[in-house]
Structure 1
């Protein structure tokens, strides 16, 4: 069942990489090992998420929908980085200013007023953005 599910999730090159393996428990482990050896490249994933954060446009509008869209995108990349063991505890000093640079100047000003001694606290920033979105909604 696991192997059938795995095969149903794969497309393109990844699917072709395990073609020919019959649906057995032993081949499931072989398929997983093969896919990991070919695609498990943590550093590339980290770089892709950081580049995505860097590439975000600075938000010019402060309406609720634009802020919510930005928040969703930020959360997606931060969660993905956390899954790759790049957490705010370790890297907040880099991630927090990167995210702040994407917020409108008025929001950054409010952040500056409320974040004394928490300038590198990524979770505090994400909570702050959430509160800003809720205020606008």
Structure 2
């Protein structure tokens, strides 16, 4: 008798190597290590969560008990090799577009940088192993005035990765504070000159009306 598998709320995976480990951790906990499921059922769950390149690389494997293990082997070889994941994270960091001094651009740069660095740390890489390579790359991407502010606040230009991350975050915090102080209290089109002439014209019009009455 055919039994419909219960629906599980699992992430999907399409071939982005940086998403493999989170996908596998979730799938392993809910399906792979579930002793109440046989390998055919596990394979059905696996296939239902794949798309794109991930689906294509196991497309020739029919859903059988034996092929479930083979499918996992193929996926791990293609997307789950630690050294390839490290290379992909590093290349993503190196390829980050340089931000402008604009607070929005700087925050987007910082958030992307942090996501990739935390990804490296999540697979067991420490900043001691890759920080010395990344520090000059990240510094060279930052606008000159941002670097000057950071050096002034830091008290020098000798950086390691933790201090550089903290300095960029501090610069963003300062910019946000300045933006909230300077940007919210003044009307966008307000200028002292325009306010003066507007007030003068109103007083003149009032005076003329009083003369007529």
- 2:134 is equivalent to residue 92 of structure 1: no
1:67 shift after superposition: 0.8
- 2:63 is equivalent to residue 21 of structure 1: yes
Look up the SS of the partner of 2:141 in the other structure.
coil
What is the aligned partner in structure 1 of residue 202 from structure 2?
none
What 5-or-longer segments of structure 1 have no aligned partner? Answer: none
Q: Is the 8 A contact 2:98 2:109 kept in 1?
A: no
Q: Is the 8 A contact 1:64 1:133 kept in 2?
A: yes
Could you tell me how far apart the structure 1 residues matched to 2:162 and 2:68 are? 38
Aligned residues: 133
TM-score, normalised by the number of residues in structure 2:
0.52
Could you tell me how far apart the structure 2 residues matched to 1:86 and 1:68 are? 24
Describe the shift of the 1:35–1:118 C-alpha distance in structure 2 as closer, same or farther (beyond 3 A).
same
- 2:154 is equivalent to residue 112 of structure 1: no
RMSD: 2.7
TM-score, normalised by the number of residues in structure 1:
0.76
What is the aligned partner in structure 1 of residue 114 from structure 2?
75
Instruction: For 1:1-137, list aligned pairs within 5 A.
Output: 2=31, 3=42, 4-16=44-56, 17=58, 19-22=61-64, 28-59=68-99, 61-113=100-152, 114=154, 116=156, 119-120=159-160, 122-137=161-176
Give the number of the structure with larger relative contact order, counting CA–CA contacts within 8 Å between residues 6 or more apart.
1
What 5-or-longer segments of structure 2 have no aligned partner? Answer: 1-29, 32-41, 177-213
1:118 shift after superposition: 5.4
